[in-house]
Structure 1
């Protein structure tokens, strides 16, 4: 589903398997590979896409806004620990998404007031520019946050994981089975450690 591109974008910041965090979009080349791998959802143009510095900066800026909005969506649960300390102010995150989405002829605007769910308002643009990657990703973010999946957005709580995901069933706690395995192993280790008498 196209709206889940927003989660794919957010998940380009991920656990590296060694206790740290890695960024799949650390370079324009990384963005090129990421876009080409999603041509089935972005369209045939993505197979020929080559990111330049402006593309890269725009997508990184949009990703920060998307992760900020996902952090708000999971409240009162905690945000991902990867960037909880550097989330944007809500107004700035919404403005970045709306500005990126405005690069296409019909513009969805995200509106999110304090005590109401986010909603989408669509307006027409009189002189539409050419659609861009950031517009497509921004629209995916708006669709995700205003669509039926928003109540099921979660931040994975497995040790060291920094992903957001959409809960697929009532008992799902983690973004993928390997995170569930890691969380169970960590719980087992803590129980064993707490039950073992300290050496004297």
Structure 2
């Protein structure tokens, strides 16, 4: 299954299993854990991300970037509904774009083409930036730009299952929810609503 770093960032806000919303970036420990888990997907700086020590400044920057990404995800899924987790407090699209582009521009990079003998050509980004925190945030922002400017943006959806707050990439034509358990919960809710309406009977004048 394909993984998208931008989607992983947006999904650090999730259903907590008890009817509430959990934030994986709410603490320094949680932020450090999430960065370690994503290290393999953060391009050429995966080794830096894997050994990075998260401080409050870095946590705040990643959270601010997530806020911009989720606002742009909400914009991308229109006219469908956004995630209910933050639908009432999304930043304006122009501010989200400015924040995302500023984060990506924080690390000037130069593309380089590598073509080993007998191998396949590939590109990588070269940077003179030494601050691993700045490089991390810039890499996350570039991943979001690549996703939002790419073809899978058209398949982005907000899961509409009860209590779910995730965005997901629709992988086949009939997919309505982010995972089977959400589909089961949504069908159970529909069944309950139908039977409750039937049991209530016609309204009295």
TM-score (norm 2): 0.82
Q: Deviations over 1:89-113 (max 9, x none)?
A: 1111001100110122239xxxxxx
**Total equivalences in the alignment:** 179
2:143 matched to which residue of 1? 140
- Shift of residue 48, structure 1, vs aligned partner: 1.0
Q: Deviations over 1:25-66 (max 9, x none)?
A: 101211100011122212122221221111001000000000
Secondary structure (helix, strand or coil) at the match of 1:132 reads: helix
1:165 equivalenced with 2:168 (yes/no): yes
Equivalent residues in 2 for 1:38-117 (5 A)? 38-42=38-42, 43-106=46-109
Larger Rg: 2
Tell me, yes or no, if the aligned pair for 1:103 and 1:129 is still in contact at 8 Å.
no
- Shift of residue 194, structure 1, vs aligned partner: 1.4
Distance 2:2 2:192 in 1: 40
Distance 2:182 2:59 in 1: 29
2:196 matched to which residue of 1? 193
Secondary structure (helix, strand or coil) at the match of 2:189 reads: helix
Distance 1:2 1:159 in 2: 25
Runs of 4+, deviation exceeding 4 Å: none
TM-score (norm 1): 0.84
1:17 equivalenced with 2:20 (yes/no): no
Distance 1:150 1:197 in 2: 42
Tell me, yes or no, if the aligned pair for 1:3 and 1:143 is still in contact at 8 Å.
no
Unaligned runs of 5+ in 1: 108-126
Unaligned runs of 5+ in 2: 111-126
1:7 matched to which residue of 2? 7
Q: Deviations over 1:122-149 (max 9, x none)?
A: xxxxx96345211111011100100010
- Shift of residue 2, structure 1, vs aligned partner: 9.2
- Shift of residue 3, structure 1, vs aligned partner: 7.6
Distance 1:75 1:141 in 2: 18
